[in-house]
Structure 1
């Protein structure tokens, strides 16, 4: 075996086989094997590394001979195009959560950058650059792959911004198929999932990726030119894109994420990137008239929202499902059939989710509501809210109008917790108000109090604030609420 191996790699030996490629190709393959092999090299690769391995191996000869069309199935050539974007470049993976890890897996599997560096504020289980000054020195990299959690506010250098891209940007540039991109301050997860649900039930080859929790690089091998990709897009995923989806959906824009952006306008600009790069063959579904090259669709012109049938609570959910049906229609689905299918759509956790009825009181988990407009929508949808639990991390958004609307609402009890809850408490307290006001330290005390003071109707957790600090995310907050509701009953 070793004798044949010597003949394959040693330029001074007689080559034993002609069918295994040129020596350049063999050495290229073995060099890549040594670079990528984990954990311990097998004996044959150890020998190669000791005697023949060249860290600076020149791949030029092999690359010049290589023709992508002869080696990659047609439906996956777009993956190679994405991979070629990184070739011989120094790459920084900025943020090493779910998407950052997915990016590293992609790079290890498909391409050979010059080098790859993981950068994050928090120390990770891989060598990299970590700590408070993690954003310094980014200018030295050719490509900066930014994860959604890294705030635009923290990146001040124009040079860094020009080098910054993301999984979303690269997929939209090279996607081989129709992409339905969906964004909005509120409703994007429900609308994205409903669009996917309708298309899947109608027999379309469809994938759901993005902000819903699936990094698109982790799903590339399931996507080809026949696939419809439903892509839930947050403002953070959209801020550095230079391409837009073939169908763009802009549900709404409210004041939000002001802790991540220099202004409300910067936040809105990021959102509107969803249609900014569309062409005349693309479609935009929007709540507002916009200046765009694509064809625009307004839901009110094609669907009477009042006639939408759904299990979900709230007028806003009728709107979300109407948009989902319209989005499905842009890729060939029958809109009436889509609406009929969506009558059975059960919605998502933490969105006006029924928890339990205890002593005649129904408890609802609406932890997803992180802005006043969403909380008001939940109150309106339930109709009989006797007790409202609100408050969380204070991001500096205005609660003035919200306080006045709550003060004049039919809600009997308002329990305020955490920093934003205190601010809302003080604002309502300055107004002649109907509800009784309570201030508590945390969610556990809020739920215990709610059980004491709520005699009938509904108790609703709808914080109108983010979950940062006290909880990992809104899902964690929702799960804790449900556990507290069910405790000791």
Structure 2
């Protein structure tokens, strides 16, 4: 995916300072490595007890068995001491170390505890003996991460893939040595408080997202750019050629110049492949291995995933398209073949005008809309084109079964349906994976009935 920040400064005043080098006094001071290695922590608090929190607890129990571990989480915690919802914590001074899960916004915590904060990602970076390739970006990071990992593996390198795309990083730590290349997908949440950067950093793109989590868009961009902030001479930064970034690392730009045969749909995936190729070139892996691996690489689940052809209609699951730009890329990838789109979800304050404009000039004929942004996008379309109600068939629903049933009823045989919501899922579904799974299940189930 292209790293588009052009035009950013006008829309988000102050963001130009982010690109020209910056200081951030909200981030954690110092290097926590010496603290973790040489200081005994009697009292440790884990904020949040999902995948990362559980992984941290196992790590701490093994490495600091005499420490008292307290857990604050909104849900019931099995097998560990739980005090309550982290929002109710009052006795911050009782703890020597506070491990914050990535899902808890830093802005919601008192600044006085920042010097005590660490994270699962920070502990991993401080403890990992192997070389880390870190990949971030609003979109494209999972595909780019998986491509890099698969090529390294095909070339016979000792490698592991960690982060959002796999198990928590600390679960792999025991099997990592100095010969291991760690391919780490890093979210902005994981990067925000990190005081180290990977040896090779890849930044795919930055678009407005997670605006409910950060102070503002500039704060989100700062978190993303943390992937290169602590790099030094001898490190590498792979970035889009249209957007120069300040860094002490050796800078390697990428575009969409790689023309490897691929099953991946869309121009945006050419950027992902190109970014992966730049990393692979650093390791001196030959083109034959790269090209063969890319040719056999299939799209990841929930990312322009081909579900199947049922009743002469093709179904694509793009549930991870949680911002308008991702859905625009999906529409462009399927082109004239796309007849029906299912979109809409939770409103996090991003600009939906571009997706409204894109649908109006596309060959899409049927809109199946989830609240609340589905209605918002439709209203924008009607404001832009007063004749829109006569051009599109519109179904509004809050149930996936009805959405898929509507897709079967409206879609022209031989054409395609895509779930690409341009929005997050939390108002109707557990997460994007739940949304995508329900879509696939109903596509298959209803496809068996005439």
Q: Could you say which TM-score interval applies, normalised by the shorter chain? A: 0.7 to 0.9
Q: Are residues 378 and 335 of structure 1, via their aligned partners in 2, closer, same or farther at CA, if it must alter by over 3 Å?
A: same
Residue 419 (structure 2) pairs with residue 464 (structure 1): no
Residue 364 (structure 2) pairs with residue 411 (structure 1): yes
1:83 CA drift (Å):
5.5
The structure with the larger Rg is 1
| Pairing 1:325-474 to 2, within 5 Å after superposition | 325-335=277-287, 337-383=289-335, 384-432=337-385, 433=388, 434-456=391-413, 457-474=415-432
1:441 CA drift (Å):
2.9
8 Å contact 1:420–1:465 — kept in the other structure? yes
Match of 2:100 in 1: 146
1:416 & 1:232 partners in 2: Cα distance?
Answer: 31
1:309 & 1:342 partners in 2: Cα distance?
Answer: 7
1:437 CA drift (Å):
3.1
Match of 1:258 in 2: 211
1:340 & 1:210 partners in 2: Cα distance?
Answer: 25
8 Å contact 2:41–2:96 — kept in the other structure? no
Aligned to 2:83, which of 115, 122, 129? 129
Residue 193 of structure 1 aligns to a residue whose secondary structure is: helix
Residue 298 of structure 1 aligns to a residue whose secondary structure is: strand
1:410 & 1:135 partners in 2: Cα distance?
Answer: 53
Residue 245 (structure 2) pairs with residue 293 (structure 1): no
Residue 266 (structure 2) pairs with residue 314 (structure 1): yes
Residue 111 (structure 2) pairs with residue 158 (structure 1): yes
1:483 & 1:88 partners in 2: Cα distance?
Answer: 48
- Write the deviation string for residues 365-418 of structure 1: whole angstroms up to 9, x where unpaired: 111110111111111111211001001111121112221222222211111112
8 Å contact 1:178–1:229 — kept in the other structure? yes
Residue 167 (structure 2) pairs with residue 210 (structure 1): no
1:220 CA drift (Å):
0.8
Moved more, 422-431 or 248-257: 422-431
1:353 CA drift (Å):
1.2
1:137 & 1:257 partners in 2: Cα distance?
Answer: 29
- Write the deviation string for residues 426-451 of structure 1: whole angstroms up to 9, x where unpaired: 21122213443332232221111111
1:100 & 1:134 partners in 2: Cα distance?
Answer: 18
1:473 & 1:83 partners in 2: Cα distance?
Answer: 34
1:101 & 1:334 partners in 2: Cα distance?
Answer: 40
Task: Provide TM-score, normalisation by structure 2.
Answer: 0.86
Number of aligned residues: 406
Moved more, 203-212 or 461-470: 461-470
Residue 116 (structure 2) pairs with residue 116 (structure 1): no
1:338 CA drift (Å):
1.7
2:264 & 2:89 partners in 1: Cα distance?
Answer: 43
1:249 & 1:461 partners in 2: Cα distance?
Answer: 28
Residue 224 (structure 2) pairs with residue 271 (structure 1): yes
Q: Are residues 138 and 425 of structure 1, via their aligned partners in 2, closer, same or farther at CA, if it must alter by over 3 Å?
A: farther
1:114 & 1:357 partners in 2: Cα distance?
Answer: 55
Q: Are residues 193 and 85 of structure 1, via their aligned partners in 2, closer, same or farther at CA, if it must alter by over 3 Å?
A: farther
Aligned to 1:92, which of 23, 41, 45? 45
Q: Are residues 135 and 408 of structure 1, via their aligned partners in 2, closer, same or farther at CA, if it must alter by over 3 Å?
A: farther
Residue 447 of structure 1 aligns to a residue whose secondary structure is: helix
Moved more, 89-98 or 111-120: 111-120
8 Å contact 1:204–1:228 — kept in the other structure? yes
2:286 & 2:182 partners in 1: Cα distance?
Answer: 18
8 Å contact 2:357–2:381 — kept in the other structure? yes
Residue 87 of structure 1 aligns to a residue whose secondary structure is: coil
1:242 CA drift (Å):
0.4
Q: Which runs of 5+ in 1 are unaligned?
A: 1-79
2:101 & 2:288 partners in 1: Cα distance?
Answer: 38
1:254 & 1:85 partners in 2: Cα distance?
Answer: 40
Task: Provide TM-score, normalisation by structure 1.
Answer: 0.79
- Write the deviation string for residues 246-299 of structure 1: whole angstroms up to 9, x where unpaired: 000000000101111110111111111000000011000012211111111011
Residue 418 of structure 1 aligns to a residue whose secondary structure is: coil
8 Å contact 2:131–2:180 — kept in the other structure? yes
Q: Which runs of 5+ in 2 are unaligned?
A: 1-32
Moved more, 141-150 or 371-380: 141-150
